[in-house]
Structure formats: C-alpha cells, structure tokens
Structure 1
C-alpha cells in the first residue's frame, strides 16, 4: 500500500501535481486556502478556479484543515507562492511526520534572506537538507492536467528520496528524471520567471524571433553564471530544469510570467498588470531577490537588472531594451 501524499496549495500547479500523484496510485489530500475551492473540488471533482474543465481523480480529497491534510503523510508537497512559504510552513511544522519527504514546487528566491526555497524549508522545519526534494521543469499546469506528454526533474541530495518521488509522480504523461543538483534546479526555475517577463515585454512590443531567441539564450547565460557562482552543476542549465523550463515559460501563452510581461510591454503599470492577470507571477518579486543575490556574488545579470527597473522603478520597456543593446561589446 503506497503512503498518502499531501499537497499544500490548490493553485493550478498544486492541483495538477495532486492529479499526477493520484494517477500514479496514491491517495492525495489537497489543502486549499479557500473553502470555496475545497468545496468545489469535493463536490464536482474539478478545480474551477485554477484548472477549469479538467476532471480530477476520485483519490483526491480537498480540505482547508492543514493539520488534517498533513497528518501521517509520507510525501508533503509544498505549492504555495514563494514569498508566503516561510509564514505558512511555520504553522505546519508540528504536523509533519518524522521521516516525510518534503517536496518543493516553488520557483523563487526569498526576499530579504535571498534563500532558495529548499533553504527556507530546512531553516523553518529543522529537517536535514536531504529530506527536501525539488521538482522543476517545463511543466505548464493546464497542459499536464490535459495529460499532454511532458518531463520534469526531481532533484534531491538523497538519491533514494529522489527515486521515491520519481516513482510517485511517474505517469503515462509525465516522465520524471532524477538529479542531485538542488541548487541548479532551483535557480533555473527561479530565474526563468524573470526572463519570461522580459520575453513577454518583447512580444507585446512587436519584436521578432531574433530578439526572443537572444533573450532566451542570454537569459540562460546569466542563469548559468549565477548558478556556477553558487555551486551548481553547469550541465543542469542545459537540461529540463534550465533550458527546458525557460523555453516553456517564455514561449507559451499559458505562462503567467510571460503574460504579465506582455501587459507591462503594452505600457501598463505593475498594478494594472496584476489586476489583469489575477495569478501570482513569481518573477515580479523574485527579480528583486535574484538581482541582490547576483550583486552579492559579483555576477552580471543585465536582463534581470532591466526587468527589475521596469517592474519596480517605472522604467519603460523600450528604454530597458535600449539599455541592454547599448552595453559594451564583449566575447560571448
């Protein structure tokens, strides 16, 4: 009998991962912050707020009672917005089973502390780092909920735990690969959100494929520079958690960060873009912490710098693009 899995966060990706776990053979308890979301999942078998029209397996039970959701779970998946993780997790720690595996779906860097999500989890819970796994890759939730073929990365310093999670989320439509590079996997997921904002701005400005390919390629270069400075394996950035996730987030209209960037590229303010998109675009806040992390480590991240200026200092996207093109020439 497979152990129970818990997913804490019933947004689009949290709900999709609950579906994956159930399809792979586990009973799943899905924690939702709002009672209306939990009631809808339990009564209709769908999450109309985040994944409308997609049928969820009967093995998923939704609740707003976090202690009840967590109790005895072998796998605890964390799927809340990055900047809310610390506060939420502090309330959930007492209910974690002694040897549960904690799985992070979050793609961000914490403001202020500049910690990766796995570092926040270890700090708040006091668990060993090898109990924390990270899942990242080109995983747009609506496509996966529609069971379109995709792959992802499960990163953990404990290979046995990585394999446990790999098996727990292996389905005919999702192929997970294991990796021991937690740092690189997390950074790829965090920085790609920022680059996707830039890509969205370029799209809205009517710029073509040369510009977009340049943003993806140079965005990957600055992601890799920061990753290597922090101890990541550079090969990670050529894989699913690096290039794969970056391409999906930049090129797909389903990407929240790209969509948010398009609103900014049309001249909307941060507040107008937020009102229009309604969902969390992690890159908007993470561009601040990633910029600071880069400066702390003396790493140049020019695209990230310009995205931060557009998002938080009122610089027009056209001015930001011109600034990128005016940088001094250098070898690739």
Structure 2
C-alpha cells in the first residue's frame, strides 16, 4: 500500500489554505511553501493566513514554513501544488531540487500559459515525473465552503489507483467525501473549461439574462465540454459525475466563484483591467480562455461558448453583441 509520507503545500491562496486545513487535521504536520517572508511572519504571529480565509486557525507547531521552495521539496514526499496557473513557472524556475521521485498532486484548475499544457502534462514533459507519480484534485469545492466545513465531494485522479486511494484517504473526513478516478487529463481540462463557462455565466448575469437562459447556457456548456474531452482524450467517462458537471455548476452559479464575479463585471461594462484590480484575486478562466482557444485551433472542436468568451475578452467584441449571437446558436 502506497504511503503519501510527509506532505507539503505549495501556494498561499484560499484553496491552498483550505487544503492545508484538511490535510493537517489528518497528518498533524505539513510543510508549506509561500513565496513571501512577510506573509509567513504574519501567519506565524496571527495563527492564520493573513490574506485568505482568515477565520481558519492553525496550530503553528504543526506547520513548517519556508519561502525557499527547494527546502520544502527536499524535505517532503508528496507535494500539493495550489498556485495560480499563470504563476506556476515563476515558482518552478527557482527549483534546483529534483522532483522526479516525488508524488505530485496538482490542485491547480488552470493551464500553464505559453506551453498550453495542463499541469500534469507540464510536470511530465518538463520535470520528467512519471504519470504514475502525478495526480490531480478536482470536484465542486469552493475554498470558502471547505473552510466552513460544509459537506464537499472531491475526486483524486491518478493512473496509479493505489496512490489515488492513499491520497484520498488523507483528505476524507466528516465534511469531505472522496472518490478516485484515472481520468487525470479529462478532469484537468474540465477544471479549466468550467472556469471559462463561469465567465460566460457571469457575463450573461451582468447583461441581466435570467435563470431560464442560464440553465440553457449551462446545458450547452456541459455538451461543449463533453465534445472537447471526447475529442482530445477519449475515455469511458460520465460527464454528469460531480467532478465534471458538479464543478461546472458550482462555478457557474455560486457567488463564491471568482470567475463568475469577473464575468459579471465584464457584462456590466467594466474593462478587463479594472475588473481584475477590483477583484484583487486571480480569475483562472481569463488565462484559460486564451489557452483553450489556442489548443482548440488544433483540435477543431465546435465550441461556440469558448469562442464567445474569447471574442469578448481578447478581441474586445461587445458583450451584448457576442452573447446575442451566442443565444441565436442555442436550441
């Protein structure tokens, strides 16, 4: 039976904090890489993350912090990456320690920019980590609700099911139900696409479209997601499973969704820059939209919602005009 060993968190945002809360309750010790020393010092002084999920308290004796990613990588066996995809390469370029033999879990719901690779493929191609040592964490799971210990369902995917099961056992608790899967690629792409569709939902919300249309939008979104996943990675998957459809719905509908919030601002007439400044948080779907558009230039899947969001965000087409064209394509 695989043992996850010593576990470390790479990243300091809200989802990283929520995952740390789950893991440390099971292991009673974690390593935690944060890039800023001042943030670490404030964390130690306050007993909670000073910037995210500030109500979640930690026992400082159970955490070893470091702003040097190499110290964490050297000392820990399982590395959970929870950084925005747009910044993952900036963190990894500081890495001088080999990670080929580590068990790497990506909880990043985004694509590595420029390379246009999902995170597991990036770690495999650039750092030579074998697929059996790569896992992803998916499912409908807003960090804010996990912090409040509201019942959530997570899926751990890995080609090695024993490793997926071992890591899922670390996460399972009264308020976290877990299941395992082997569909790493499908879950990672679905995690990216649901952010794009949540931006679309937000734009429509900002334009005052109602619940009736939102239901049609989400129905078309899951069909679009299914077409893409079937094209790039054919597998006997059930698109209505919570890790696909559930994550899409919670991201498209919830007020906790930063991608929906970002889209709503765009629909109300905010510029992209002003929306990003006001949110003070990363909307992964903004970067994911461009990456998925470029990936789909090779796949040629019919993806009208992706195209519409791309045209609004990157071609500066009027949201009113673009969404009207999109509504005419729905049935």
Unmatched 5+ stretches in structure 1: none
Q: Is this contact kept in 2: 1:109–1:190, CA < 8 A?
A: yes
Matches within 5 A, 1:162-173: 162-173=164-175
Change (3 A) 1:93 1:252: farther
Work out whether 1:68 is the aligned partner of 2:107: no
TM-score by length of 2: 0.94
- Aligned residue for 1:18? 20
CA contact (8 A) 2:312 2:318 kept: yes
Mapped pair 1:85 → 2:88: yes
1:162 deviates by 0.5
Q: 1:214-260 CA deviation, whole Å, 9 max, x = no partner? A: 11111111111110111143634211221111111111111110110
Q: 1:93 to 1:242 in 2, by over 3 A?
A: farther
Alignment partner, residue 137 of structure 1 = 139
CA offset at residue 284 of structure 1? 0.4
The answer for the alignment partner of 1:256 in structure 2 is: 258
1:158, 1:249 → 2: CA distance?
28
Q: Are the aligned partners of 1:86 and 1:121 in contact in 2 as well (CA < 8 Å)? A: no
How far the C-alpha of 1:32 sits from its partner, in A, is 1.0
In the TM superposition, what are the counterparts of 1:1-332 in structure 2 within 5 Å? 3-58=5-60, 59-92=62-95, 94-96=97-99, 99-233=101-235, 235-327=237-329
Question: Offset at 1:113?
Answer: 2.7
Deviations 1:246-280 (A, max 9, x none): 11111111111011011101100100100111111
Q: Give the match's secondary structure for 2:110.
A: coil
Structure 2 counterpart SS, 1:29:
strand
- Decide whether aligned partners of structure 1 residues 57 and 233 sit closer, same or farther in structure 2, where only a CA change above 3 A counts: farther
- Between stretches 36-45 and 262-271, larger displacement belongs to 36-45
> Secondary structure in 2 aligned to 1:288?
helix
Once structures 1 and 2 are overlaid, which stretch shifts more, 227-236 or 38-47? Answer: 227-236
Q: 1:190 to 1:303 in 2, by over 3 A?
A: same
**Distance between the aligned counterparts of 1:297 and 1:149, measured in 2?**
37
Quick one: distance in 1 between partners of 2:4 and 2:112?
A: 33
1:6/1:77 contact within 8 Å kept:
yes
**Residue-pair matches, total:** 328
Normalising by structure 1, we get a TM-score of: 0.94
